[in-house]
């Protein structure tokens, strides 16, 4: 039952019967899935319904990320398994469409190449960043790249430390991948981000282009001599570092050969001069026989 067309108690029809949803686990991400099913751009608020329902309570314990197409794709306790719920806990929602400020949002990539770099979003006249190490995925990256005029994203980048401090605009964002604007994706309130996100754990993308990327290069920086230092990798024209998780002699052997040395003397995981920017690779696993670090096993570029 709703007082306005865009707000009210949420009801779902399952096996021919309408029923309500218990507010156990009900949040803005579950609400966003419902609003998108109703053809709204977003959820404004996840609420407890002011007008209570009667009869069947179908769902409780919903766990949605906001990227689902339908509420039945979210994790839940099971249809009809709603012990402990009553209609005083019926879920409600206020749905809406983009505001003029949200429609005016612009995005850009900060990096050495136009199609690669840290994501920055212009909202309310201020450029902000996205802090989203675990939630940031390829669907979010696709939306950013299409906003920039590219067909799609090639990679997401999950960890960038920014050179210039920016306010963190978004965290815990979830896109379906087809949105025309990042503003249509589920997320917490604008600027509502924990302090630990400030200028670290920032999201980035590599957008697809029609040109072949330049060959991957490696270099050593911040060391005491030309044959030692922090490993840096140039991918899609952008230099970044390699996380030392799992780094060993076999990995170092491949890098040294790429640099023209006959072999490796020792591998180091010691911190060198502090550097900001992209971390390109993690959990590199080479056999030692590869001709390039690109042939070694790893988590994926930017992941």
Between strands 238-242 and 230-235, the pairing is antiparallel
Nearest to 62 by CA among 20, 1, 95: 20
Within a domain: residue 103? no
Q: Residues 243, 186: one domain?
A: no
Q: Report the alpha-carbon distance of residue 272 to residue 254 in Å, rounded.
A: 20
pLDDT band at 269 (very low <50, low <70, confident <90, very high): low
Q: What is the mean pLDDT of residues 197-214?
A: 83
pLDDT value at residue 165: 67
Within a domain: residue 212? no
Q: Residues 230, 257: one domain?
A: yes
Within a domain: residue 62? yes
Q: Residues 121, 38: one domain?
A: no
Within a domain: residue 302? no
- Percent of the chain past pLDDT 70, that is, above it, reads 92
Within a domain: residue 35? yes
Q: Residues 231, 277: one domain?
A: yes
Q: Residues 182, 267: one domain?
A: no
pLDDT band at 211 (very low <50, low <70, confident <90, very high): confident
Q: What is the mean pLDDT of residues 231-253?
A: 91
pLDDT value at residue 270: 66
How many domains in the chain?
3
pLDDT digits (tens, 9 = 90+) for 27-84: 999 999 999 999 999 999 999 999 999 999 999 999 998 889 999 999 999 999 999 9
Q: What is the mean pLDDT of residues 14-20?
A: 95
Within a domain: residue 26? yes
- Domain hosting 169: range is 108-207
Q: What is the CATH number of the domain that holds 57?
A: 3.10.250.10
Q: What is the mean pLDDT of residues 167-176?
A: 83
Q: What is the mean pLDDT of residues 83-104?
A: 94
Q: What is the mean pLDDT of residues 6-15?
A: 94
Residue 133 has pLDDT above 70, yes or no: no
Q: Residues 197, 122: one domain?
A: yes
Q: Residues 203, 221: one domain?
A: no
pLDDT value at residue 98: 92
Give how far Cα 240 sits from Cα of 75, 127, 200, Å: 37, 23, 15
Q: Are 171 and 131 in contact (CB under 8 A)?
A: yes
Can you give the three-state secondary structure of the chain, one letter per residue?
CCCECCEEECEEEECCEEEEEECCCCCHHHHHHHHHHCCCCEEEEEEECCCCCCCCEEECCCECCCCCCCHHHCECCCCCCCCCCCHHHEEEEEEECCCHHHHCCEEEEEEEECCEEEEEEEECCEEEEEECCCCCCHHHHHHHHHHCCCCCEEEEEEEEECCCCCEEEEECCECCCCCCCHHHCECCCCCCCCHHHCCCCEEEEEECCCCCCCCCEEEEECCCCCCCCEEEEEECCEEEEECCCCCCHHHHHHHHHHCCCCCCCCCCCCCCCCCCEEEEECCCECCCCCCCHHHCECCCCCC
Q: Are 162 and 199 in contact (CB under 8 A)?
A: yes
Q: How many beta carbons lie within 10 A of that of residue 267, not counting itself? A: 16
pTM (2 decimals)? Answer: 0.77
Residue 1 has pLDDT above 50, yes or no: no
pLDDT value at residue 48: 94
pLDDT digits (tens, 9 = 90+) for 139-157: 999 999 999 999 999 999 8
Q: Residues 133, 77: one domain?
A: no
Examine the fold and report which residue of 96, 128, 143 is the final residue of a domain before the chain moves on.
Answer: 96
pLDDT band at 3 (very low <50, low <70, confident <90, very high): very low
Q: Residues 76, 118: one domain?
A: no
Q: Between these two residues, 162 and 78, which has the higher pLDDT value? A: 78
pLDDT value at residue 190: 84
Least confident of 126-135, 181-190, 239-248, 251-260: 126-135
Examine the fold and report which residue of 207, 231, 263 is the final residue of a domain before the chain moves on.
Answer: 207
Residue 2 has pLDDT above 60, yes or no: no
> What mean pLDDT, rounded, does the chain reach?
88
Examine the fold and report which residue of 181, 207, 233 is the final residue of a domain before the chain moves on.
Answer: 207
pLDDT value at residue 105: 95
Q: Residues 180, 262: one domain?
A: no
Q: Residues 144, 170: one domain?
A: yes
Q: What is the mean pLDDT of residues 203-228?
A: 88
Give how far Cα 176 sits from Cα of 65, 133, 165, 168, Å: 10, 17, 29, 22
Within a domain: residue 101? no
Q: Residues 200, 255: one domain?
A: no
Q: What is the mean pLDDT of residues 91-116?
A: 93
Within a domain: residue 115? yes
């Amino acid at each position: 039952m709703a007082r306005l067309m865009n707000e009210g108690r949420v009801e779902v029809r399952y096996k021919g019967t309408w029923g309500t949803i218990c507010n156990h686990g009900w949040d803005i991400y579950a609400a966003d899935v419902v609003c998108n099913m109703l053809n709204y751009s977003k959820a404004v608020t996840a609420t407890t319904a002011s007008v209570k329902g009667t009869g069947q309570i179908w769902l409780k314990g919903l766990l949605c990320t906001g990227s689902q197409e339908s509420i039945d794709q979210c994790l839940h306790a099971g249809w009809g398994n709603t012990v402990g719920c009553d209609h005083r806990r019926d879920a409600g929602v206020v749905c809406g469409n983009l505001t003029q400020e949200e429609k005016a949002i612009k995005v850009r990539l900060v990096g050495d190449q136009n199609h690669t770099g840290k994501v920055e979003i212009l909202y309310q006249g201020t450029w902000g960043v996205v802090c989203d190490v675990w939630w940031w995925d390829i669907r979010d990256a696709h939306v950013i790249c299409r906003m920039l005029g590219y067909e799609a994203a090639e990679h997401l980048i999950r960890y960038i430390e920014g050179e210039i401090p920016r306010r963190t605009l978004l965290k815990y964002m979830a896109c379906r991948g087809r949105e025309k604007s990042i503003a249509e994706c589920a997320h917490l309130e604008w600027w509502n981000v924990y302090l630990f996100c400030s200028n670290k754990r920032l999201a980035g993308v590599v957008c697809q282009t029609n040109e072949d990327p330049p060959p991957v290069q490696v270099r050593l920086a911040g060391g005491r001599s030309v044959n030692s230092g922090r490993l840096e990798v140039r991918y899609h024209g952008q230099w970044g570092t390699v996380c030392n998780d799992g780094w060993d002699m076999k990995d170092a052997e491949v890098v040294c050969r790429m640099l023209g040395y006959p072999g490796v003397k020792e591998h180091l995981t010691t911190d060198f001069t502090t550097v900001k920017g992209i971390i390109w690779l993690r959990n590199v696993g080479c056999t030692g026989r590869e001709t390039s670090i690109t042939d070694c096993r790893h988590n994926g570029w930017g992941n």
